[in-house]
């Protein structure tokens, strides 16, 4: 049975882009007769607050999106992440990285097309002595050593996507120097333990997927399938972000009822030919992945 998920980061009010991916994730799971689970990705305690978690749930409910089971909070699962981090450590895959941000940038391989730099592997082969002297000065972050392997998968929305783990991704951080486990580890562990079989999310996370699939395999989990949906853009072509106040749900609720807003999103998604109020439940029989656009869209509501 299909099990989809919502995985919002409760760092503020949801904006149109979040609602868009949540609606499509829900439709994909429900149209397959599947379940839907909710996980609040509140690992970053500097940015996430518990009132935002409550707000996210009220906002999903307002829109007409429901989920099965109790919501899962990442901030309460540190011991679980520690266990899987330890498994990777036992496999000899984890090493401390003492680089400062400036050192990382200077020593990194060329930028990828999205501007992200690939870690050059400076700390991968330090001698014990070098580690000892560096650790006196600084608390390390913890990286996982990726193999020089090509990773490829078939995305339900974007088609085939391929990446070289060493060249395009590089050794990535699984635990920050302040002890917080990284999103990349938490997402893989949680999706597996929560029984998620289908990950629907924004296209901005497409290039995280090869490393997540590799972690998944390395930890012995079954891989979920993926669908990376296009991003919604502001009229000037920028990505919608939490700072675009006018696209926040609080603002949108003053202009639209929930069925009106869902109708506009459904029209953008190519599920209905004309604007008109509609509920998520009414959209279930209309949903199909071959209708969903692949390119980013300007959100003119």
Q: Do 143 and 165 form a contact (C-beta atoms < 8 A)?
A: no
* 20 versus 98: smaller Cβ distance to Zn ion: 98
Instruction: Answer yes or no whether residue 156 interacts with ligand GLU by CB under 6 A.
Output: no
Shortest reach from residue 18's CB to ligand GLU, in Å = 7
The site for ligand GLU, by CB under 6 A, has a size of 7
Residue 9 binds ligand GLU, judged by CB under 6 A? yes
How far apart are alpha carbons 103 and 285 in whole angstroms?
Answer: 53
Site for ligand GLU in 157-196 (CB under 6 A): 187
- Out of 122, 131, 242, 267, the residue judged to bind Zn ion by CB under 5 A: 122
CB of residue 186 vs ligand GLU: minimum separation in angstroms? 9
Nearer to Zn ion by Cβ, of 25 and 123: the residue is 123
Stretch that binds Zn ion, among 39-47, 117-125, 168-176, 230-238 (CB under 5 A): 117-125
Q: Does 123 bind Zn ion (CB under 5 A)?
A: yes
List the single partner that 143 binds among ligand GLU, Zn ion, none, CB under 5 to 8 Å by kind.
none
| Number of shown-chain residues binding Zn ion (CB under 5 A) | 4
User: Least distance to ligand GLU from the beta carbon of 99, Å?
Assistant: 25
Residue 99 touches which of ligand GLU, Zn ion, none (Cβ within 5-8 Å per kind): Zn ion
Which of 29, 57, 99, 278 touches Zn ion by CB under 5 A? 99
Considering only residues 193 to 212 of the shown chain, the ones binding ligand GLU according to CB under 6 A are 201, 205
280 binds, among Zn ion, ligand GLU, none (CB under 5 to 8 A by kind): none
Phi, psi of 282 (to 5 degrees): -65, -20
Binding site for Zn ion (CB under 5 A): 97, 99, 122-123
Binding site for ligand GLU (CB under 6 A): 7-9, 41, 187, 201, 205
């Amino acid at each position: 049975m299909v099990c989809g998920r919502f995985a919002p980061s409760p760092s503020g009010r949801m904006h149109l882009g979040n609602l868009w991916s949540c609606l499509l994730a829900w439709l994909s799971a429900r149209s397959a007769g599947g379940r839907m689970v909710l996980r609040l990705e509140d690992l970053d305690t500097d940015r996430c607050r518990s009132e935002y978690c409550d707000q996210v749930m009220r906002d999903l409910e307002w829109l007409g999106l429901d989920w099965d089971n109790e919501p899962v909070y990442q901030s309460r699962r540190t011991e679980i992440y520690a266990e899987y981090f330890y498994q990777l450590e036992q496999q000899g895959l984890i090493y401390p990285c003492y680089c400062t941000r400036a050192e990382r940038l200077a020593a990194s391989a060329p930028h990828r097309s999205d501007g992200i730099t690939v870690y050059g592997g400076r700390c991968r082969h330090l001698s014990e002595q070098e580690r000892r002297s560096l650790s006196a000065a600084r608390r390390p972050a913890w990286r996982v050593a990726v193999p020089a392997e090509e990773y490829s998968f078939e995305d339900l929305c974007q088609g085939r996507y391929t990446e070289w783990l060493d060249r395009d991704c590089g050794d990535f951080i699984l635990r920050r120097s302040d002890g917080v486990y990284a999103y990349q580890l938490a997402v893989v562990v949680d999706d597996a333990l929560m029984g998620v079989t289908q990950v629907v999310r924004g296209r901005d996370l497409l290039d995280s997927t090869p490393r997540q699939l590799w972690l998944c395999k390395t930890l012995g989990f079954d891989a979920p399938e993926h669908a990376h949906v296009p991003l919604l853009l502001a009229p000037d072509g920028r990505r919608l972000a939490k700072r675009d106040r006018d696209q926040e749900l609080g603002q949108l609720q003053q202009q639209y009822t929930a069925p009106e807003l869902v109708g506009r999103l459904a029209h953008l998604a190519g599920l209905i030919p004309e604007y008109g109020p509609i509920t998520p439940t009414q959209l279930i029989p209309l949903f199909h992945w071959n209708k969903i656009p692949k390119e980013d869209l300007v959100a003119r509501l």
